[in-house]
Chain A
Amino acid sequence: MKMSPLKSLVAAGVIAGFIVPMAALADTQFLGAGATFPYPFFSRAFYAYSQDHAGITVNYASIGSGGGIAQFTAKTVDFGASDVPMTKAELDAAVAANGAVVQIPDTLGGIAIAYNVQGVSKHIKLSPAVIANVMLGKVTNWNDASIAALNAGVKFPNLPILVVHRADGSGTSYHFTDYLSKISPDWNSKVGRGKTVNWPTGVGAKGNEGVAGQISNSPGAFGYVELAYALQNDMSYAAVQNKAGEFVLPSPDSIRAAASQKPDVNPNEFSITDMGGKDSYPIAGYSWLLVWKNQADPAKGKELTALLKWLVTGGQQYAAKVNYVPLPENVQQEAIKAIGSIHN
């Protein structure tokens, strides 16, 4: 009995598949799959695009980067999205399946260091050394002299630090551990970077909402969340000392400042953590689109490149609307160049 509505749906789909091409030749549907991080941005941007371009719809399934890469490689979707560019092994598999892959940065995200300590300011100052030592389990109490030294006039309580990290694999963890690996040789040799690492200390929570929830109801908690999440939930987060020695709060401006330091960002050199420049916030990363260089269907390929070009330029305004960071001008130019290399 349960099957019958499904069957009729399938039947309707099959029939529609025959009729629709005759009714409206321009109807194009793009299917994407991948990372959950850019989903709020994509869903807004693609909706706006289909409003302005009759006959074009884009469906994006936020199933995770791993699933996105697998679906993309299997050619069941028109484009994939991933929190970090494909690894060499993944790329080799994809190239063997369907030729070259073009990877395009589509939006930027920053990572805020959030904490829960009663009676201190909403934005304390933290240095790279302190962040690394807390994450390594070497600094274990908020009254540690190294924290107080950075925050003159702030009285820190005698309160154990509870490190909260992501338990699920995530690009947020990748960018954060990438930062830690750059600033701390100790972290680099003991833990390293990855979407899931062997955390030296603390408790793991699922998703940004899990980490935020854990931080908000554990006095003494110290963790990292996507900036959009920290802003929307009015969390306390730190100003982090950057490479130039300045203490900078995470914001769309400070993250764009960091990203614009590296205009030639590409799938091989994609890290933008710990960038120079006095306005740069040091913990951030790109989200990436995966597209086949050789499009099988020229007409559809043309529509796809038009969509992508819009996404990295005009569409960027929708990133700002969900507290994501629009690509800097110079990176937009690089992205357009990459899109131009797609053969229709």
Chain B
Amino acid sequence: MSQESAEVISATAGASARAARTRISPAGDRIFMFLLYASAWFVLAIVAALFLVLLQRSWPAIQTIGLGVFTQLWDPGGGHFGVLTFIYGTIVTSAIALLIAGPVGIGAALFLAELAPKRLATPVAMLIELLAAVPSVVYGIWGLFVLVPVIRMYIGPALQHTFGFLPLFQGPIYGVGMLAGGLILSIMVVPTVAAISRDVFEAVPNDQREGMLALGSTKWEMMTKAVLPYARSGVVGALVLGLGRALGEAMAVVMVIGNKPQIVASLFQPAYTMASVPANEFSEATGKVYISALIEVGLLLFIVSLLVNISARLLVWNASGRGRR
């Protein structure tokens, strides 16, 4: 019954809003419209400007190196600027991060929004948002002094013992390496995914849940069949934002990944990511082509991020399209 009255209220509110729209002076309307347009275009302009400046600054390198950039050897002194190893490192660490942080973040958000008592949910949600604001160098130092030894002594040997038949978990375990990079990123991405997903779940109208429960569903069915589908696009947004953080993170990864440009299957081996290269080498880089090559790494990271985001969205659109049918 409260639902009915709420609908009545919202219907009248809608009507009065429509009435109000015609009452507002057209001039104010147009100015506001212009401001909104300008804001939207401003964001696009920033992205375009960023791309153009990166392109312009990396032009000397593009001209000198050409397609040599898509090789594996990075040796600035010898004039070799191959970035494939960095692209590989960025994609693998981000994939590990999202594989772990996605389920954990969404799970945490579901718990906080649907199951946890208010007394618990509010402080925990606040703490999660606080985690999202911790500077990445703090995560990096924690990673170097806590996570890395734990991987070397416990996580690595356990993985090797259980999944040692996979090339992913073979070879010596140094602690630092691709796995440490992926794990530190996943820890950094969880707060982003959890905080946004929770907001999205809380925005799911209650009648969705009540309708589902009224049909006799369990809480689990209510969450998977009513809340999650309704919130899908918002959750995808949360994952994409999390992925963005993982792709672009430099400092924390630099401190735990081992910074060795190589493409090998084992996650225990050191690796290198795109964002780490300029962070490591820019301040001491000398010579036009070298500096320009570092900026080209930035340009390529920009393009890789764009491609990854687009393909993530396409993937979800396809999946959700199929889901509806």
A→B interface (CB under 8 Å): 36, 63-67, 69, 83, 87, 89-90, 160, 162, 167-171, 192-199, 202-206, 210, 213-214, 217-218
Give the nearest-CB partner of B271 in chain A: A203
CB of B77 within 8 A of CB of A197, answer: yes
Report B267 CB to chain A, min CB distance, Å: 14
CB of B144 within 8 A of CB of A199, answer: no
Max chain A C-beta neighbours (<10 A), residue from B141, B172, B282, B288: B282
Q: How far is the CA of A335 from the CA of B77 in the complex (A)?
A: 29
Residues of A within 8 A of B284 (CB): 64-66, 83, 168-171, 195-196
Q: How far is the CA of A64 from the CA of B282 in the complex (A)?
A: 8
Give the nearest-CB partner of A201 in chain B: B260
Max chain A C-beta neighbours (<10 A), residue from B76, B78, B284: B284
Pick the residue among A63, A203, A217 that contacts B260 (CB under 8 A): A203
Residues of A within 8 A of B149 (CB): 217
Report B284 CB to chain A, min CB distance, Å: 3
CB of B73 within 8 A of CB of A198, answer: yes
Q: How far is the CA of A162 from the CA of B258 in the complex (A)?
A: 11
Interface residues of B in 60-100 (CB under 8 A from A): 73-78, 80
CB of A193 within 8 A of CB of B77, answer: yes
Report B280 CB to chain A, min CB distance, Å: 4
Pick the residue among A66, A87, A167, A206 that contacts B291 (CB under 8 A): A66
Q: How far is the CA of A89 from the CA of B258 in the complex (A)?
A: 32
CB of B77 within 8 A of CB of A66, answer: no
Give the nearest-CB partner of B258 in chain A: A203
Whether B283 is near chain A, meaning CB under 8 Å from some CB there, is: yes
Proximity string of chain B (251-266) to chain A, C-beta cutoff 8 Å, 1 when within and 0 when not: 0001100111000000
CB of A167 within 8 A of CB of B176, answer: no
CB of A213 within 8 A of CB of B76, answer: no
A-B residue pairs in contact (CB < 8 Å), sample of 17: A65-B284, A66-B285, A66-B291, A89-B287, A89-B288, A167-B254, A167-B276, A169-B280, A169-B284, A192-B77, A198-B74, A198-B78, A203-B260, A205-B176, A205-B255, A206-B279, A218-B152
Give the nearest-CB partner of A35 in chain B: B284
When A and B form their complex, which 7 residue pairs have the shortest distance between CB atoms, in order from nearest? Answer: A64-B283, A169-B284, A204-B259, A167-B259, A194-B77, A203-B258, A198-B75
Residues of B within 8 A of A193 (CB): 77
B→A interface (CB under 8 Å): 73-78, 80, 141, 144-145, 148-149, 152, 172, 174-177, 254-255, 258-260, 270, 272, 276, 279-288, 291
User: Contacts A205-B259, A217-B149: A65 and B286 contacting too (C-beta < 8 A)?
Assistant: yes
Residues of B within 8 A of A168 (CB): 279-281, 283-284
Number of interchain pairs (Cβ within 8 Å): 102
CB of B287 within 8 A of CB of A192, answer: no
Q: How far is the CA of A197 from the CA of B78 in the complex (A)?
A: 8
Given contacts A204-B260, A206-B255, 7 further A-B contacts (CB under 8 A): A64-B282, A66-B283, A66-B284, A197-B75, A197-B77, A198-B74, A205-B176
Q: How far is the CA of A168 from the CA of B148 in the complex (A)?
A: 20
Residues of B within 8 A of A204 (CB): 258-260, 270, 272, 280
Residues of A within 8 A of B80 (CB): 198
Pick the residue among A69, A171, A210, A218 that contacts B174 (CB under 8 A): A218
Pick the residue among B270, B276, B291 that contacts A203 (CB under 8 A): B270
Q: How far is the CA of A50 from the CA of B141 in the complex (A)?
A: 36
Residues of B within 8 A of A198 (CB): 73-75, 77-78, 80
CB of B280 within 8 A of CB of A206, answer: yes
Q: How far is the CA of A215 from the CA of B80 in the complex (A)?
A: 29
Report B288 CB to chain A, min CB distance, Å: 8
Report A339 CB to chain B, min CB distance, Å: 24
Residues of A within 8 A of B76 (CB): 194, 196
Q: How far is the CA of A169 from the CA of B282 in the complex (A)?
A: 8
Residues of B within 8 A of A217 (CB): 144-145, 148-149, 175
CB of B270 within 8 A of CB of A196, answer: no
Pick the residue among A66, A202, A214 that contacts B144 (CB under 8 A): A214
Q: How far is the CA of A194 from the CA of B290 in the complex (A)?
A: 13
User: Contacts A192-B78, A193-B77: A203 and B283 contacting too (C-beta < 8 A)?
Assistant: no
CB of B77 within 8 A of CB of A36, answer: no
Residues of A within 8 A of B77 (CB): 192-194, 196-198
CB of B281 within 8 A of CB of A206, answer: no
Residues of B within 8 A of A87 (CB): 286-287
CB of B281 within 8 A of CB of A203, answer: no
Max chain A C-beta neighbours (<10 A), residue from B78, B259, B286: B286
Q: How far is the CA of A208 from the CA of B174 in the complex (A)?
A: 19
Residues of B within 8 A of A167 (CB): 254, 259, 276, 280
Give the nearest-CB partner of A210 in chain B: B255
Give the nearest-CB partner of B285 in chain A: A66
Report B85 CB to chain A, min CB distance, Å: 11
Pick the residue among B75, B176, B279, B280 that contacts A214 (CB under 8 A): B176
